[in-house]
Amino acid sequence: MQHKVIDAKDVVIRFAGDSGDGMQLTGSLFADMSAIFGNELSTFPDYPAEIRAPHGTVSGVSGFQVHIGSDHITTPGDFCDMLVAMNPAALKANAKWLKRTAMVLIDSDTFDEDGLKRAGLHNDPITELHIEDRTIIIAPITSLTEESLKDSGLDRKTVNKCKNMFTLGMACFIYNRPMEYIFQYLERKFGKKKPELIEPNKKVLKDGFNYAANIQAIPNTYNIEPAHQPKGLYRNITGNQATAWGLLAASEKSGLPLFCGSYPITPATGILEELAIHKSLGAKTLQAEDEIAGICTAIGAAFAGSLAVTTTSGPGLSLKSEALGLAVMTELPLVIVDVQRAGPSTGIPTKTEQTDLNQALYGRNGECPMVVMAAKSPAGCFDSAFNAAKIALEHMTPVILLTEGFLGNGSEAWRIPSMKDYPKIVPPFAHPNKEYKPFERDPETLVRKWAVPGMAGCEHRVGGLEKNHEGVLSSDPVNHALMVQEREMKVRKVADYIPELEVHGAESGKLLVVGWGGTYGHLLSAVQDAHELGMEVGFAHFDYIKPLPRNTEEIFSHYDKILVCELNSGHFVNYLRAEMPQFNYAQYNKVQGQPFLVQEIVSAIKQNL
């Protein structure tokens, strides 16, 4: 077979296997290596929902998809150019994501009678899954790894854990990836505690590369040139890391210590873990005994004058709802990060959705308004977290920042910003020894002053019972109506301090595509594809949900129909219908625990035109 080296604009690789096969690590290393090489990228980790799914079954398959390119990348890709399937279940679960031209790398050692039976397959999985027309590379990866490390002195269990490195070596050959980064990673990971594992892992990585170079089954290899990006320092970053760093940046710009009180919950735990690393930057973290304790400690930290944060997912947001009401009533600054997952209840905890929006908007008793925001990309979580903290601190209000499992666990290349490019955060602190009324408000913003314990002459009471402007308990009906109105208007006035809505594509016409949160990349790509097909549509994406940007109504008025696309049954479109009922809304919804496919959105655009 004649070997070809093909220059590719972009490729999508999906690594899949059992949870113990190390596919998440393999995908992460491939992505980090590509980021260092200079490629644009987007990743999508896809974990099994069960903690200990039966070995070799479809429910236990763990996947990691990487989309790398020489131009701007906005999604992890709909379908893959190469699938690495470490067992029959991984092949069965992911065969539907193969392009017609895809390459499939199979570990033949796992395709025995028992492996096929566990996956629900029969004698010939290639025919059974209808993938005969793909390029199938059948390699005894487990046996080759054992042969590579037969003289390493490692036990068999440890040797078998290295087969992901053999696979990564093959991928490095196929896509011309430099392996130096992997060597550095191995030295950092094992250098102090297990140095004996460094050389065996390097050897098996090289052997995988050389094996792929010497077999005749691989017809083509691919070059993906570095992207032309603005100069700067880049890194591959996940949404959870970016959220944590954005909060740390807000702490620096406000001059306030950061406190995060949280309870671990998938897929939000990474934010708490990342903040816990940075004690040197003044971050204080508390792993509380439950969700309620987490938010209550954060409210206490806000009362004491800290930038207070609590992180969670949908079930935890439910448990925090009463304390959220307390934060609204006391008008204390608080950032609540909700990394959404599929529900209800425990649902599918490792899968992504946008099904917490109704809860964020309405899920509290009484008239209980607060700012609701949404991050749109893994790297964008940095700015979203920074801005959420800025609004909370300067407007003395709780802010819910919605991200998603797809964003929190996914990653992309990020240009590390300079803090000089970010504005100062100026909380409205009270003045010591001046007359202080806890709920007396700024006439423009309706924001109250923030007095912290120890501030002379500013002793006061806050709590869950209604007060008047002087901070005195009040059951007066007229006062209650006034305070309810002022709390709502304070949130609505935040619209004067957020960016206006922007439109991509046609600025007027038959159809405006609308989205929010992590659907941004998929919707943008779909609208660009629609333009190439001759469809003139606009696209507007909402980072701020309550309040809406000031020019929303004006933008909507330029289109005949508003197509709202979201990963739920219609939360945002119904909110828009309530806020601005005069427009003609259509909706496209997906509730499968998976992100949109670009082709799905293009099809929805065609139908609505």
Inform me whether the pLDDT recorded for 216 exceeds 90.
no
Measure CA of the first residue to CA of the last residue in the chain; give whole Å: 47
Segment 427-464, tens digit of pLDDT:
999 999 899 999 999 999 999 999 999 999 999 988 99
- Arithmetic mean of pLDDT, 570-587: 98
> Whole-angstrom Cα distance, residue 562 to residue 248?
37
Domains of the chain, earliest start first: 4-223 (3.40.920.10), 236-421 (3.40.50.970), 504-608 (3.40.50.920)
CA-CA distance, 487 to 582, in Å (whole number)?
27
Count the helices and strands in the chain (H runs, E runs): 22, 22
Q: Are 15 and 156 in contact (CB under 8 A)?
A: no
Q: Are 109 and 143 in contact (CB under 8 A)?
A: yes
Other CB atoms within 10 A of residue 201 CB: 24
Query: Which tokens in the block code for residue 132?
Result: 């005969």
The rounded mean pLDDT for the chain is 95
Give pLDDT, residue 465. Answer: 96
Assess contact for 336 and 401: CB atoms under 8 A.
Answer: yes
Strands 334-340 and 398-404: parallel
154 burial (CB, 10 Å; 0-12 / 13-18 / 19+) is middle
Residue partners of 286: CB distance under 8 A and separation at least 6: 259, 260, 261, 262, 294, 297
Given a contact cutoff of 8 angstroms between Cβ atoms, the answer to whether 588 and 500 are in contact is: no
pLDDT at 51: 79
- pLDDT above 70: residue 2: no
The Cα 594–Cα 159 span in angstroms is: 34
3-class state of residue 334 by DSSP: strand
**What would the mean pLDDT of 207-224 be, rounded to a whole number?**
91
CB of 316 within 8 A of CB of 293? Answer: no
CB burial of residue 169 (10 Å; 0-12, 13-18, 19+):
buried
Q: Looking at residue 433, what is its pLDDT?
A: 87
Output the pLDDT for position 44.
96
Partners of 45 in the beta sheet? 64
Which of these ranges, 230-234, 282-286, 515-519, has the smallest mean pLDDT?
230-234
DSSP 150: T
Burial pattern 118-145, b for ≥16 Cβ within 10 A else e, equals bbebeeebbeebebeebebbebebbebb
pLDDT at 408 over 70: yes
- At residue 53 the predicted structure's pLDDT band, cuts being 50, 70 and 90, is confident
Token pair for residue 233? 């320092």
pLDDT band at 1 (very low <50, low <70, confident <90, very high): low
pLDDT band at 4 (very low <50, low <70, confident <90, very high): confident
What's residue 19's pLDDT? 84
β-pairing, 10-18 vs 80-85, is parallel
Instruction: Report percent pLDDT > 90 for the chain.
Output: 93
Report, as an integer, the average pLDDT of 290-311. Answer: 98
- Strands (E) in 366-519, as ranges, are 371-374, 398-404, 411-415, 504-505, 509-516
Give phi and psi for 100, each to the nearest 5.
Answer: -65, -30
pLDDT at 319 over 90: yes
Rg, the chain, Cα only: 26
Contact 328, 368 (CB under 8 A): yes
Residues in CB range of 250: below 8 A, 6 or more apart: 258, 307, 385, 386, 389, 390, 393, 425
Tens digit of each residue's pLDDT (9 = 90 or more) over 81-132: 999 999 999 999 999 999 999 999 999 999 999 999 999 998 899 999 999 9
- Tell me what the mean pLDDT of segment 287-294 comes to: 98
Q: What is the pLDDT of residues 127-155, one digit of tens each?
A: 999 999 999 999 999 999 999 999 999 99
pLDDT at 32: 93
With both helix axes pointing from N to C terminus, report the angle between 23-37 and 163-174 in degrees, rounded to the nearest 10.
Answer: 30
Task: Give per-residue pLDDT as tens, 66-84.
Answer: 999 999 999 999 999 999 9
pTM greater than 0.75: yes
Helix orientation angle between 141-148 and 163-174, rounded to the nearest 10 degrees: 110
Run of H or E including 527 = helix 520-532
**Model pLDDT, residue 20:** 84
Length of the chain: 609
| Spatial contact of 436 and 451, defined as CB atoms under 8 Å apart | yes
C-alpha angle 209-214-217 in degrees, rounded to nearest 5:
100
Q: How far apart are CA 152 and CA 146, in angstroms?
A: 10
Centroid of chain to Cα 53: 24
Q: What is the rounded distance in angstroms from the CA atom of residue 313 to the CA atom of residue 269?
A: 9
- What Å distances lie between residue 110 and 24, 59, 325, 506, CA to CA? 19, 17, 54, 52
